[in-house]
Structure 1
Amino acid sequence: MPDSRPQPPRLSSSPSAPAGPAALLLCGARLTDGRTVDVRLKNGRIEAVGTAGSLAAVSVGTRVDLRGYLLLPAPAEPHAHGDTALSADVDGPVSFQPDDVQRRTTEAALLQLGHGATALRSHVCIGDAQGLGALTAVLRTRRSLCGFAELTAVAMPRVLTGVAGANGLAMLRDALKMGASVVGGCPDTDPDPAGYAELVLELAAEFGCPVDVHTDAGDPARLARLAAIAGGLRSGVTLSPCGGLGRLPAAAAARVAERLARAGVTVVCLPQGGCGAVEGRGTAPVRLLRSAGVRVAAGSGALRDVSNPVGRGDPLEAAYLLASRYGLSPEDAYDTVSASARAALGLPEVRVEAGFPAELLAVRGDRLASALSLAYSRIVVHQGRVVARTSAVREYSTSAAVALDLPRQGRAQP
């Protein structure tokens, strides 16, 4: 069975490593176009890509043998909930004491880093019982993870309109001043969803930050209104999980998709089960949205909390589900958790080419389709250095090998 905990890599140091920041050579990796290459990383970027063996003569600090691995741009996690993650087994109410939230957020981020996500966006509830304590803990986690993963926080008030919302609005302002970098929330929980959305967008424009709001509304007029008032925000607007779109008649959903595309809104779908009540779950119609020109990213949502006690937080599982259930090609499915997810987070593009950021994931396999279905062994690179490694070895018993006419010492490494 694979061990899901991130493990320190076993690397060999070169005695001729240069002074200053050490380079890293990834040897014999396979790319999705079929080439086998060496990739040299330095100063957090891809310095060179050459045919296998062509870069071996150049002195480097460390070498990683990637024979048998497929090398990909690293995925990103655009929809995490660190403040409630890993709380499904807790007896009684979930603790939002800052120390407990920081512990859960850190462990969740490391689990997701082990899966390959080198950047994460965590939605954090503010107000009510937790006040700003949970956000304080997530921001501390962000600082402690520096150099291992890039974590950003979304501040999520429950109510913003009317007398009841005055405190939430003041707290949202405080959250942005503290270091939350995205304005979020859930208009569906407010008595005035349109008023909530307008306040969120106004505040985002004032602070110059992006918006990422939850909505599962199946009301095309409400979604169209969100698209209309989002269109002028330069920092970008993300809606998730938009499962309600999948419950609309096809023609109505298509009209909403066209409005979202014109407004430049990104939709983050959650194919692993979402982050709300079970009865309200559903996945946005990803093919319809993509055909309308909407950028679609995929996130994991709940990670073993009350919303999804078996959530894995694995971007490759999200891509696998989009390919197996919703008809996306493996390439398009992986795009939702890598290039499109990074774009949704405002991060620079990653390609396995010289000059691009060294944010990479090596998965045992020779093609993307097989990597999505059997991606147990993984090596994760962030800012040009290996930050996590997960290894899995499958062995068959002697009796099974004899019965199936397999080599006695044969083994497969998924």
Structure 2
Amino acid sequence: MLEQMLPQSRRAFLSQTGMLTTACAVAGLSGGMVREASAKSGDSGGEVLTKAVAERHYLLTGVRLEEGFEYDNDIVVATRTALYALEIKDGAIVALHPEKAALPEGLPRYEARGQLLLPSMRDMHIHLDKTFYGGPWQAPRPRQGKTIMDMIALEEKLLPQLLPTSQERAEGLIALLQSKGSTVARSHCNIDPVSGLKSLEHLQRALENHRDDFECEIVAFPQHGLLHSKVDGLMREAMQMGVQYVGGLDPTNVDAAMEKSLDAMFQIALDTGKGVDIHLHETSPAGVAAVNYMIDTVEKNPALHGKVTISHAFALTTLTPEQLEETASRMAEYKISIASTVPIGGLMMPLPQLTEKGVFVMTGTDSVIDHWSPFGSGDMLEKAYLYAQLYRGSDEFRLSRALSIATGGILPLDDQGKRAWPKVGDAASFTLAAASCSAEAVARVSARSATFHRGRLVAGAVDQA
């Protein structure tokens, strides 16, 4: 679950900044600059706001799209944009009409009021099945001096209290994610002796209620240890219920048998044809050994190539530059991805170095107001903001590139400044932001007014012309 790391002076400051941003996001606020832009874009001029788009074929006008970079010599100093009308049909973008072009007659029209179009965001590490969100305020118990086993013991007491409302709270979290621009997620779901398969059943019912407006993969997560809690059988049942990934947790610290635990996890995946997404928090030499063992296992089993994610992977922070380069190269070769929450603390995740070597890096919320952490906002744009701060990406170009960690690698402009998204034929999945360009949206965590998923308005509102 959410990582706990020792603070350093600069990162302690960033942590306070991040918490302030989270508080503002939850309250629906942001910086003065964003409020001003939002007010301007929200001036409906007598139009009627709508929270539903029922038509299968319609126009979304006044959409701001990025056109290219502006340079001072070879330095990117600004981003050019222009207004377009998106023609959307059956969940896809079928035409991009320039601002003054003649538009098709007879189509319903909705107005974006000059707001920036950003790709739909992806929360690729979250626990939708267990949260305090939607209920009365409850802070976590103190973590000081507590081990992972202590937290597991606490969770065994909490789960029976959470289960009766877990479906409703999961749907509340889905609505929160959508309001922040995310319509794609990967959720870990407890498989443990206390809840059995109930957490999974409740989560699947919640997702079924949102099958048209939210996409979510599920990881069967043995939170209390695959071996420690003896849930191999339950994990296999979960695979038969439609779960896409086999999860795991700290094979040395929790299961006390690194190779045996990892072998059991991989065997379930191989037997069922599923992928793997393991929580690995360990920073001891055992954590490095676990990473290497997993890479070796994937190398020997072609069926696992491109189907394994290591979440958190804090052991990578302990490698020398030479060791990291070798490990990252091997991970890239076998398409092993990383899911990181962009942690702030005493250990700096080498996310840019991994990306440079070709490792696909994703991000996610992890906890949203639960017994592990009270700070989760459900906002992937905020993760891009933290990424840019932590890795010194304060210029126009690097700010715009930081957005990719929140969108699954999709960016409006490629590195050369050519439009890469949206294109005709792309899914009509996006969010509208009160910003002039991607760089500003990342730096200011700009407010989002509407989120669309495959042509369907799933959060916020737009003007109806």
TM-score, length of structure 2 as denominator length: 0.72
Correspondence 1:125-204 to 2 at 5 A: 125-157=190-222, 158-161=224-227, 164=228, 167-188=230-251, 189-204=254-269
CA deviations on 1:61-113 (whole Å, 9 max, x unpaired) are 3x232233111210111001112223593489534454311122111111011
Of residues 26-35 and 316-325 in structure 1, the stretch that sits farther from structure 2 once superposed is 26-35
| 1:260 aligned onto 2:308 | no
Asked which structure has the greater RCO (Cα within 8 Å, sep 6+), the reply is 2
2:353 counterpart (285, 288, 312):
288
* Corresponding letter in the other structure for 2:460: R
Residues 98, 133 of structure 1: 8 Å contact kept: yes
Q: Which moves more between the two structures, 21-30 or 94-103?
A: 94-103
Superposed, 1:88-99 pairs within 5 Å as 89-90=137-138, 93-96=157-160, 98-99=163-164
Partner of 1:403: none
Give the Cα–Cα distance (whole angstroms) in 2 for the partners of residues 355 and 53 of structure 1.
22
Aligned residue for 1:136, secondary structure, equals helix
* Inter-partner Cα distance in structure 1 for 2:65 and 2:377: 26
Task: Name the CA distance, whole Å, in 2 between partners of 1:383 and 1:364.
Answer: 21
Q: 1:187 to 1:374 in 2, by over 3 A?
A: closer
CA contact (8 A) 1:114 1:390 kept: no
Higher alpha-carbon deviation: 246-255 or 200-209? 246-255
CA contact (8 A) 1:224 1:259 kept: no
Secondary structure of the structure 2 residue equivalent to 1:217: coil
- Distance in 2 of aligned mates of 1:13 and 1:243: 43
Residues 13 and 128 of structure 1: is their aligned pair in 2 closer, same or farther, counting only changes over 3 Å?
closer
Distance of aligned partners of 1:215 and 1:201 in 2 relative to their CA distance in 1, 3 Å threshold: same
- Match 1:23 to one of 41, 57, 64: 57
Q: Residues 119 and 410 of structure 2 are in contact (CA less than 8 Å); yes or no, is this contact kept in structure 1?
A: no
Q: 1:249: Cα distance to partner? A: 2.9
**Aligned AA for 2:297?**
I
Residue 290 of structure 2 is aligned with which of 216, 219, 222? 222
Q: CA deviation at 1:2?
A: 6.7
Contact 2:52–2:461 (CA under 8 A) maintained in structure 1: no
**Alignment partner, residue 117 of structure 2:** 71
Q: Label 1:104 to 1:55 Cα distance change in 2 as closer, same or farther (>3 A).
A: farther
Structure 1 residues 333-348: aligned runs within 5 Å:
333-340=402-409
Q: Determine helix, strand or coil for the equivalent of 1:64.
A: strand
Match in the other structure for 1:116: 181
- What is the alpha-carbon distance in structure 1 between the residues aligned to residue 63 and residue 432 of structure 2? 8
Cα shift at 1:270: 0.5
Amino acid at match of 1:10: L
TM-score (normalizing by structure 1): 0.80
Residue type at the aligned position of 1:322 = Y
Query: What is the SS of the residue equivalent to 2:329?
Result: helix
Tell me the residue number matched to 2:84: 37
Q: For residues 42 and 256 of structure 1, do their structure 2 counterparts lie closer, same or farther at Cα, with a shift above 3 Å needed?
A: same
Mapped contact 1:187–1:197 kept (Cα < 8 A): no
Matched, 1:365 2:399: no
- CA distance in 1: counterparts of 2:337 and 2:243, whole angstroms: 20
- One-letter code aligned to 1:194: E
Residues 217 and 259 from structure 1, CA distance in 2 versus in 1: closer, same or farther, beyond 3 angstroms? farther
Does the aligned pair in 2 maintain the 1:124–1:155 contact within 8 Å? Answer: yes
Query: How far off is 1:58 after superposition?
Result: 3.4
Match of 2:101 in 1: 54
Q: Which residue of 2 aligns with 1:351?
A: 421
Structure 2 residue aligned with 1:310: 375
Local SS of the residue matching 2:66: coil
- Structure 1 contact 228–259 (Cα < 8 Å) conserved: no
For structure 1, which segment, 293-302 or 50-59, has the greater mean C-alpha deviation from structure 2 after superposition? 50-59
Q: Which amino acid aligns with 2:311?
A: S
- Residues 181, 431 of structure 2: 8 Å contact kept: yes
Question: Is the contact made by 1:81 and 1:123 (CA closer than 8 Å) also made in structure 2?
Answer: yes
SS in 1 for 2:213: coil
How far residue 186 of structure 1 moved from its aligned partner, in angstroms, is 1.1
Q: Deviations over 1:18-70 (max 9, x none)?
A: xxx53131212112322321111111111111211436333323x23223311
Give the Cα–Cα distance (whole angstroms) in 1 for the partners of residues 405 and 247 of structure 2. 21
State the one-letter code of the partner of 1:250.
Answer: P
Deviation at 1:332, TM superposition (A): 2.5
**Uncovered stretches (5+) of structure 1, i.e. residues with no partner:** 274-278, 343-349, 392-414
Residue type at the aligned position of 1:337: A
Verify the 8 A CA contact 2:178 2:451 in the aligned structure 1. yes
Contact 2:431 2:448 in 1 (8 A): no
8 Å Cα contact 1:381/1:388 also seen in 2: yes
Query: Which of 271, 276, 279 pairs up with 1:206?
Result: 271
CA distance in 2, matches of 1:208, 1:268: 21
1:13 deviates by: 9.7
Does the residue aligned with 2:234 lie in a helix, a strand or coil? helix
Change (3 A) 1:160 1:11: closer
Find the aligned partners of 2:130 and 2:410 in 1 and give their Cα distance. 22
Unaligned runs of 5+ in 2: 1-23, 29-47, 68-80, 140-153, 412-419
1:252-286 CA-to-partner distances (Å, cap 9, x unmatched) read 2232222211221011110256xxxxx9x855211
Shift of 1:237: 0.8
Contact 1:239 / 1:268 at 8 angstroms: preserved in 2?
yes
* Distance 1:282-1:308 versus aligned 2 partners, 3 A rule: farther
State the partner residue of 2:342: 271
1:83 lines up with 2:112 in the alignment: no
> How many residues end up aligned between the 2 structures?
366
Q: Contact 2:56/2:455 (CA < 8 Å) preserved in 1?
A: no
